[in-house]
Structure 1
Amino acid sequence: MKILDWYILKRYLGTFSTMILLFIPIGIIVDLSEKIDNILEHQVPFKAVVFYYLDFTIYFANLLFPLFVFLSVIWFTSKLANKTEIIAFLSSGVSFYRFLRPYMIGAVIICLGALALGLFLAPKASQGFNEFKYSYLKKGKKAQETRNIYRQLNDSVFLYADDFRPLQQSASYFTIEYFSGNTLKTKISAKKIIFKDSIYELQDYVKRTVLENEDIIEKAKTKDTVLPFNIDEFTPVTYVAETLNYNDLKAFITKERQRGSSDINRYQVVAYKRWSIPISVFILTIIGVAVSSMKRRGGMGINLAIGISLAFAFVFLDKVLGTIANQSDFPPLIAVWFPNFLFGILAVYLLYNAKR
């Protein structure tokens, strides 16, 4: 690797590291200012707070990884352009693609770091981050209410419930169905189900047993019984996908799909982002170089304004499409990868014009 490559690579990685070291303390201060009253009110142990902010650091860095990369490239490349160093490089006979090579090497290093962060470190940090909030700040309020729950417990047992309230351990309009192949054998329904002392209390209980020539109907105002599922089946913790490494997450998605979970899109969005964010490093690096390699009349401020606008447009599009996929039938694969596809086209266009 030549002197030019080392010079740009060190500036790239150094500026990226500086960005992280500058922004993370700001994020910690903002978060602490929001939570300090609750921390003092609940008398949270100092050790727990320290470990929370270690997890927060990893969580925050993973969340804003593309933004840090983009701003880093814009910042130091604009400084090179303003000092006419880029002109000197290109005038020496170095092609623009050759000039781009150390940036790509830096992008590979950061991409590998992003993969390690997203696949292994961020899930553990996310678990600690969320458990701290629910253990100390929300005091067990993991979910206020869950509606329209469908679960396939195994090949022959299906259940449905509405308006599940985890704090009251109850749900409305409960139904559990037992099948043999494609034939319904037993159906139990109740207007309300309450979990008490390892048994279930069913109100307005109706049991229908399907025989060959007739159905047997059993009714009761209240019925205490044992059922083949745990009350937690109704509501997996909403942040569970974020806390699993990639292999565990894929297995979890398969299991939830078999159960008929309504949150499959949410889990798939998390899985796809484990790969899309590292790939975005290359796209944003190319865009950053193409935008900031030209010396402009307005100086570095113009490049930063353009770069920040594009960065926030990328983050905004990524968040909006992710939210749409979480709350609708919009394909998660398209929602997660479309920003990379769109900005990839933009990167090719800007690179072509920058080369000229």
Structure 2
Amino acid sequence: MKIITYMLRSFFPIFLGALIFFVLVLCLTDLFMNLWNYISKGVSSKDVGMIILYYVPKTVWYAIPIAMLFATAYMLSDFYARNELLAIFASGISLFRFTVPLLFIAVAMSFAMFFFEDYVVVPTYTKKVHMQELVLQKEKSMNNDRIVIMSDEGKIVYKADFYDDSVKRLYTVYCLIRDDEKNLRALIYSDNASWIDGKWKLSNPVEYKNSDEGIVMASVEEELLDLFDEPPETFRNNTISVEEVNTRQAREYIEHLEKAGLPSAEEKSVYYKKFSFPFVVFIVVFLAVGLSGKTRKNVLLVSLALSITAVVLFYVTQMITMLMAKFQAIPPLFGAWFPVMLFIIISTMLLKYAKT
């Protein structure tokens, strides 16, 4: 128990120091990337300070895995350099057994990170993005153009040239209606359609029908006009970043994309990443245990270099798999979880050949 207490008392100061350092680096990086825009738009220092403050939880979420990796690698390497690990091994305690408390802490922190992102990071990061867009005059319009929406499980397809959200109106509208077997039932055209009393009111609608004389225009049955009840929110330019919403909202957004017949591979991969990324904390601790004891000299620099290299390799691997998932080369679930599984295997191999 004294050994565990001694290890944890050595670990947490290093972890907190590394966490603060990496948070500062990320905050300053974001500040300098946008500094010229802030100056050119005359943004007040108070607003800039609030943007940075809202960004802090996101930087903490990013910095925790790096800080955990550095703190574990540095602490164990320092123990090895001072021959403290050799004394522990001589007493019959293996490296894995000695570091089990750290692995338990990493598992607990992984679950905590998931809830931290859902309830703290997402709301504050969303405020940061919205406030940044506001002060930099990059507000997003909800109007949309070249719209194709599938509704009622694909039985109704809307096509419109433009949607004006301020008046909730569609322009140059085609409505294709299909039966249960997805066979064409009717094709209706209207110059515009307005959202009135929970329905789309088509202006001077006409239906195209086949006849012996070819395609002719006819009046539309009232029964068909009652089918157009897809809410205006579906037609908005409501493309959102799954990274800026919690898991429930992300799931609802993906369901909306699937219902509308729109691509959702990228959104699904980011959604699954919300579950896989917190386990990076466990991976980096596992990895740091395997990397420990590689050198007795320049422990600080070597630990920092190993930590940054390992994190860069992980993020590059994750970036590649996420891009492959985006372009549907691999399933979204595989794109989010493959880097995690790969580095668990690498960490296991390193632990197997670690000095004990």
TM-score (norm 1): 0.79
Q: Deviations over 1:163-182 (max 9, x none)?
A: 99999x99999754223322
Helix, strand or coil: the match of 2:254?
Answer: helix
Tell me if structure 2 keeps the 8 A contact 1:185–1:211.
no
CA offset at residue 208 of structure 1? 4.2
CA offset at residue 218 of structure 1? 6.8
Q: Report which stretch shifted further, 137-146 or 321-330.
A: 137-146
1:103 paired to 2:98: no
Which residue number corresponds to residue 187 of structure 1? Answer: 187
Q: Report which stretch shifted further, 307-316 or 244-253.
A: 244-253
Helix, strand or coil: the match of 1:177?
Answer: strand
TM-score (norm 2): 0.79
**CA distance in structure 2 between the aligned counterparts of 1:165 and 1:76, rounded to whole angstroms:** 60
Tell me if structure 1 keeps the 8 A contact 2:144–2:237.
no
**CA distance in structure 2 between the aligned counterparts of 1:194 and 1:29, rounded to whole angstroms:** 49
Q: Report which stretch shifted further, 339-348 or 151-160.
A: 151-160
Q: 2:237 aligns with which of 221, 235, 238?
A: 235
CA offset at residue 4 of structure 1? 1.5
**CA distance in structure 2 between the aligned counterparts of 1:134 and 1:294, rounded to whole angstroms:** 47
Which residue number corresponds to residue 153 of structure 1? Answer: 151
Superposed counterparts of 1:241-260, under 5 Å? 241-260=242-261
Tell me if structure 1 keeps the 8 A contact 2:317–2:339.
yes
Q: Deviations over 1:5-36 (max 9, x none)?
A: 12222333332222221122222223222323
Which residue number corresponds to residue 339 of structure 2? Answer: 339
Which residue number corresponds to residue 223 of structure 1? Answer: none
Root mean square deviation of aligned Cα: 4.0
**CA distance in structure 2 between the aligned counterparts of 1:328 and 1:170, rounded to whole angstroms:** 34
**CA distance in structure 1 between the aligned counterparts of 2:333 and 2:63, rounded to whole angstroms:** 20
CA offset at residue 313 of structure 1? 0.3
1:120 paired to 2:119: yes
**CA distance in structure 2 between the aligned counterparts of 1:163 and 1:91, rounded to whole angstroms:** 75
Q: Report which stretch shifted further, 269-278 or 333-342.
A: 269-278
**CA distance in structure 2 between the aligned counterparts of 1:67 and 1:144, rounded to whole angstroms:** 41
Q: Percent identity?
A: 20
Tell me if structure 2 keeps the 8 A contact 1:13–1:106.
no
**Structure 2: runs of 5+ lacking an equivalent:** 220-227
Q: 1:33 to 1:297 in 2, by over 3 A?
A: closer
State the aligned residue count.
Answer: 343
Q: 1:292 to 1:209 in 2, by over 3 A?
A: same
Q: Deviations over 1:154-198 (max 9, x none)?
A: 33322356899999x9999975422332233333569xx999999
Q: Report which stretch shifted further, 105-114 or 205-214.
A: 205-214
Helix, strand or coil: the match of 2:354?
Answer: helix
CA offset at residue 288 of structure 1? 0.6
Tell me if structure 1 keeps the 8 A contact 2:107–2:279.
no
Tell me if structure 2 keeps the 8 A contact 1:178–1:185.
yes
**CA distance in structure 2 between the aligned counterparts of 1:284 and 1:276, rounded to whole angstroms:** 13
Q: 1:145 to 1:274 in 2, by over 3 A?
A: same
Tell me if structure 2 keeps the 8 A contact 1:124–1:243.
yes
Tell me if structure 1 keeps the 8 A contact 2:322–2:335.
yes
Tell me if structure 2 keeps the 8 A contact 1:9–1:106.
no
**Structure 1: runs of 5+ lacking an equivalent:** 220-226
Tell me if structure 2 keeps the 8 A contact 1:195–1:231.
no
Matched residue type, 1:280: V
**CA distance in structure 1 between the aligned counterparts of 2:297 and 2:34, rounded to whole angstroms:** 44
CA offset at residue 274 of structure 1? 1.6
Superposed counterparts of 1:162-311, under 5 Å? 175-181=174-180, 182-188=182-188, 208-210=207-209, 216-217=216-217, 230=232, 233-239=235-241, 241-262=242-263, 264-296=264-296, 299-311=299-311
